[in-house]
Amino acid sequence: MRRGKLRAMTIIEVVTAIVILSVGLPPLIKAFADSSNQSHLPVNSTIASFLATERMEQVVARRYRNNTGYAALIAANFPAESPVTGFPRFSRTVTISEVTNALSPSGTAVGYRKVRVTVTWQPNNSSMSIERVFADF
């Protein structure tokens, strides 16, 4: 009967393996943790985009509803929402300002209003805005 050669790990091999793992494993674990934290960013951005678009569509609908038209584009008709109903981490605001036909700020009404919808979300206080210009005609 032939006896096989038994091979065991030496203490030097065990220590070497532990050193290699202790140097390489923590950065790898940190990379996985960072990537999992960043995976929420696209989801939150998508939700914010939909919330901003929804609010802008409400502004557009208000502009073209009944006889109120352009006169309905005032900030009082679109109060800030903090939080947005159904989305506790998100808030949104509507800013309406008078602008010229070149889109520069105007102190008086010249027939153009710029509407900006801003959605802000937690935990890192990020925000997204969309704008649209309405003319009085």
**Quick one: pLDDT at residue 86?**
92
User: Alpha-carbon distance 2 to 13, whole Å?
Assistant: 28
Instruction: With 0.95 as the threshold, say if the pTM is over it.
Output: no
What is the band of 136 on the pLDDT scale with cuts at 50, 70, 90? confident
Mean pLDDT of all residues in 39-61 = 88
Q: What is the pLDDT of residue 83?
A: 92
Percent of the chain with pLDDT over 70: 91
54 in helix, strand or coil? helix
Helices (H), 39-73: 40-63
Residue written as tokens 């609908």? 61
- The beta strand positions in 11-125, using DSSP E, are 90-98, 112-121
pLDDT at 92 (0 to 100): 95
The band of 61, judged by pLDDT with boundaries at 50, 70 and 90, is confident
The residue length of the chain stands at 137
- Give the pLDDT band (50/70/90) at residue 137: confident
Q: Encode pLDDT of 27-47 as tens digits.
A: 888 887 777 766 667 888 899
Name the burial class of residue 41, with classes exposed (0-12), middle (13-18) and buried (19+) by CB atoms within 10 angstroms of its CB: exposed
How are strands ordered across the β-sheet holding 126-135? Answer: 90-98, 112-121, 126-135
pLDDT in tens, 66-107: 677 888 888 888 999 989 999 999 999 999 999 988 888 887
Least confident of 22-26, 69-73, 85-89, 111-115: 69-73
